[in-house]
Chain A
């Protein structure tokens, strides 16, 4: 069908040229002639995206992952530990630490003074979920979210830990979760990539991000996360050069297509078809992307929800609003990174600002999707790459403290997309050091996310160099308790 259409089209064009007739079919006609879903890979590659690979009925259709890069402290956000106040300044009992390895930053410390949160906790909502005063807006949506206090990971440093949660492996160039989704489910929108990435940075101690976090790994590059930027080119090289408007560009593409049709006539190579389609897709993206990234038409009440920051491109708030628009337009996986959560020393100084950056917009995103009736089909995940120690890194002073990396437990929250609202899953001990109930390993989280999207984490595989790779490696169990 596809081939017939295009061949037919070539002939039309050819006649036009030979008869020196007017050029071009216009973009509307073109759109209808072209096959949808350009982000579904190329014709010649065996590896193809397969919309409809779903293994069972999905709860969620799309994901927005709000990565708090640097690892926000669970002890100042969602995991309330009054005992730490009582034992403030006392050494962490060796029996609790129980052989946990330390990072190079605290392995030299002779004492591990426990430190209680400087920020007050309260219970919110019908669910009575504990939230610290740093997150007043998230506190208001507790009945819509599921807090998991029992996340744990294997890595104790940022790079491997982030890579682990995104790709299922600490090392190596594996596909990121969004790339797996793109591979498994494709895109709902023919004019936008299936996997989009948005970056922002707070003022706190930062750790950087790296493109392997949204890598396609061994999957085709069509599944790579496309990084959006706050600059005039929301996607790299999206804008026409100076002096060229869309009308001019359209004419160029018509001539280009006529030239490529000559090539097809000579070689008969299906790749030439693919190339022509890609140019048409690029052209459509040039219209579709600026439309979706234009936040200026959002009504006042929406701006208020997300906070005035959302009108400043490149802020977390702006990215949350953009994430909603992308998701609403059918983007399968939107991944935000907000940097600056690595509070080794000045936690008391830095964390309030970090929390302020993200609190309002994160909550607004959930509420906004809810009021649009989209929360049920959109899964939101908020969290970092590991937790932070219950003891102080460096010297504990009256006014300040810091916390080192802690892989054994940390807190995240999820909302929408088939996850139960108003629950807290998992528990840590009263020291906030070890998990005592319902541990959720990173691979369990990944298995659950795939499950919610209708994918069996053991069946979503890709054979590369002789081995069937999975996001969850050979591990992972779906956490059924949190599924609605």
Chain B
């Protein structure tokens, strides 16, 4: 199939899925059927979505013994009618599938009415044409190892900067789209600074970059940002979502835990640019390495970040199974991009993961000497197995841990007790319904787990993941880095590369990136490749034509503007106002939060009944260090779509709600930032214009346009008058926040400038990567 066709198909399927989610299907604009129909691209999405529930991989729920997810199943004679075949290649009319999906008799029609599923006319046509063309089955694209991809030829040869651009441009051209111009330098700098460090560029960096006219100016800035200590913090945010990191145990009593040294390790690992193979191996199996490695053992905390109950009276085994389940599901989603959880209670309905496969994977994580119920309330913050962070370690191998007191510090880590227990398939997933005994293995449809090559433990599992022929590991990670930078992955469903997931919008690019990344697993190199591409550097302008042809920007013919993630909104305010405490790591902190949220919800047990706010410098730490109590997560973070860290999350939604507006309008954190920046500027010997322009540049990181300038200056004059006439209001307004106030400053001047700055903080562009 030509790439053009593929491109068209992927766009079509993307649109299709979007509308289908809502039960509405728009056939308009889909046009003619493609000349050649491809199983993976055109047919499987339909069969999977509409047929596999009853005629798919789940052997126990298979109706009439018929399966349509394999060639053998579909071509075979029907169990109850030996002369009839579900699919007769080349002959739709003789194929029972076609007869049944077009049946006029409602009792014969497939899918049956009770399923609430329905095929559209177009879907029926696709199946018909595919059968007529020979009904060729293909292995699911994601289970076929990535193939080397030559750079495609493009018309606009001068545009590509690196390999990425050839693939992206090729598809744009096939759609009649042209790339946007490069973004203006100031916006590009702000964008890349947020993507690489999570912070706005300082005035100094802005000036340096703007005045550097050399060809390498941008590459130099990228290198500089990649070596910043804040790079690790930025990229860690996503990994903490994946690893469901939190500072409390979850469930109803929700006591304190001390996993933050593990979080410090993640930041350290990214800053040191540990290659992904090491990053992955240490977290999965750092305790099983041939040489005792304290740092690698700490990294295994990844698998202990799940919730743990402290509820009196729970059944121990029920919860222990829950934790192993969580690890298994997290493993599946984080490293394989598969919905393993769907195979716990029964065979997977769509993907070739049987229930036995599920529990064979489960077996890798089932050897931990642990309890289902946490020892005693807060007697220890780290239930065994755990490791003690000793002073000796802190001075040496674990010097990146930012420990601040002399208290004992324990972190939960992984450990295997060989022979501790056998793992069983659990019927319907119930902890007490033990069936067949299973041993460590992985679904063979993904890649066989060859026990002569791989040890049957987590170390073997890591090696399996990192085999050069593994179809998923590299693709899944590359896709998520892409997603974190562009907002949407090449596979939009970053957590589902299975049958029901979206197809890649740029399949060759994904393969190219995956194979390239696999060469050295160098994460910084991957990130740099992406942010230096011409694709990334495009402006965010949305023309009517592009909005019409490609509303979701699947084709990347522009930069997709996107709202900053929750943590970065906070960071942006702190950094631009000068309040930011740029310390890295350490115990999580408790900044301002409305009163009473924890006490209204507490069970009355444990150390976290009341929110005891921090003071001083701890109020100005980055968002990544805000304390996460799982049952009452930081409200501002949730409002801006942060994860509650209940379970592994590989993609945050980006929503826009009135509650978000209320936060930026009224949250003391933001108001305090405006106040402190206003005070700093009022105390400089500059005129009003310069003060406003400086504030704007610190926050929006560019010079205001004439119109903006006029609006802001006019507003400042109004406000100066207003607060002059209402001194009490001025004093009240500037009283916000604990940061010491400059007493000698004129309250009117501060209040007026503060409100102008606060208005700038509320601008759409301010909280957006533009």
Contacts and interface: CB of A to CB of B under 8 A. Distances in A.
Given A208-B252, A467-B500, A272 B644 contact: no
Interface in A235-291: 235-245, 248-249, 251-252, 255-256, 258-260, 262-263, 266-272, 274-276, 278-279, 281-282, 285-286
A262 B707 contact: yes
A48 B604 contact: no
A91 interface: no
B277 interface: no
Contacts of B718: 251
A267 B658 contact: no
A212 B646 contact: yes
Nearest to B765: A263
B653 A211 contact: no
B207 to A, nearest CB: 23
A282 B601 contact: no
Nearest to B495: A465
B116 A466 contact: no
B315 A103 contact: yes
Contacts of A459: 23, 116
A255 B719 CA distance: 12
Contacts of B349: 467
B254 interface: yes
Contacts of A299: none
B601 A243 contact: no
A276 to B, nearest CB: 8
B68 to A, nearest CB: 17
Given A20-B714, A266-B541, A268-B541, A467 B594 contact: no
A211 B631 contact: yes
Contacts of A248: 722, 729, 755
Given A211-B633, A256-B762, A199 B600 contact: yes
B442 interface: no
B600 A467 contact: no
Contact of A207 (B544, B603, B630): B603
Interface stretch (B139-147, B567-575, B619-627, B659-667): B659-667
Contacts of B656: 42, 44, 271, 274-275, 278
A172 interface: yes
Contact of A220 (B373, B655, B663): B655
A271 B559 CA distance: 14
B635 interface: yes
Interface stretch (A221-229, A324-332, A446-454): A221-229
B710 interface: yes
A393 B665 CA distance: 52
Interface string B636-674: 001101001011000001011111111101111001000
Interface stretch (B14-22, B71-79, B99-107, B415-423): B14-22
Contacts of B722: 248
A171 B341 CA distance: 11
A106 B540 CA distance: 63
A210 B635 contact: no
Nearest to B763: A259
Contact of B662 (A210, A237, A268, A466): A237
Contacts of B39: none
Interface residues of A, number: 94
Given A226-B659, A258-B711, A267-B541, A231 B596 contact: yes
Interface in B296-342: 309, 311-316, 322, 339, 341-342
B252 A158 contact: yes
A222 B641 CA distance: 10
A404 B710 CA distance: 69
A47 interface: yes
Given A39-B658, A42-B655, A243-B731, A210 B711 contact: no
Contact of B733 (A209, A243, A281): A243
Instruction: Report, as a range, how many residues of chain B touch the other chain.
Output: 35 or more
A209 B254 CA distance: 10
Contacts, number: 270
B661 A158 contact: no
A206 B603 contact: yes
A255 B500 contact: no
A318 to B, nearest CB: 14
A262 B339 contact: no
A171 B322 contact: yes
Contact of A271 (B500, B763, B764): B764
A220 B313 CA distance: 35
B493 A466 contact: yes
B542 A211 contact: no
Interface in B666-720: 666-668, 671, 705, 707-708, 710-712, 714-715, 718
A140 B661 CA distance: 46
Interface string B239-259: 000000000000111100000
Nearest to B373: A104
Contacts of B660: 278
Contact of B603 (A106, A208, A462): A208
B561 interface: yes
B285 interface: no
A404 B762 CA distance: 52
A429 interface: no
A255 B731 contact: no
Contact of A222 (B22, B633, B657): B657
B730 A243 contact: yes
A143 interface: no
Given A159-B252, A173-B646, A238-B666, A103 B770 contact: no
A465 B541 contact: no
A282 B658 contact: yes
Contacts of A260: 763-765
Residue picked from A206, A240, A256, most chain B C-beta under 10 Å: A256
Given A172-B647, A244-B729, A104 B312 contact: yes
A437 interface: no
A405 interface: yes
Given A212-B646, A262-B708, A285 B733 contact: no
A282 B647 contact: no
A46 B21 contact: yes
A215 interface: yes
B345 to A, nearest CB: 10
Contacts of B730: 243
Contacts of B311: 157-159
A458 B594 contact: no
Contacts of B251: 159, 210
Contacts of A276: 764
A38 interface: yes
Interface in A296-321: none
A201 B540 contact: no
A252 B666 contact: no
A45 interface: yes
A233 interface: yes
Interface in A128-171: 156-159, 171
A8 interface: no
B755 A208 contact: no
Nearest to B502: A466
B565 interface: no
Which A-B residue pairs are the 6 nearest by beta carbons? A466-B500, A243-B733, A208-B603, A243-B732, A210-B631, A105-B313
Interface of A: 14, 17-18, 20, 38-39, 41-42, 44-48, 50, 101, 103-107, 156-159, 171-173, 199, 201, 206-212, 215, 220-222, 224, 226, 229-231, 233, 235-245, 248-249, 251-252, 255-256, 258-260, 262-263, 266-272, 274-276, 278-279, 281-282, 285-286, 404-405, 458-459, 461-463, 465-467
Given A39-B658, A157-B313, A210-B601, 13 more contacts: A46-B22, A101-B315, A172-B341, A210-B254, A212-B644, A229-B597, A255-B759, A263-B764, A267-B540, A267-B541, A268-B543, A269-B540, A461-B23
16 contacts: A39-B657, A46-B18, A46-B552, A157-B313, A199-B600, A206-B604, A210-B601, A240-B666, A242-B732, A259-B759, A262-B705, A262-B707, A263-B763, A279-B665, A463-B20, A466-B339
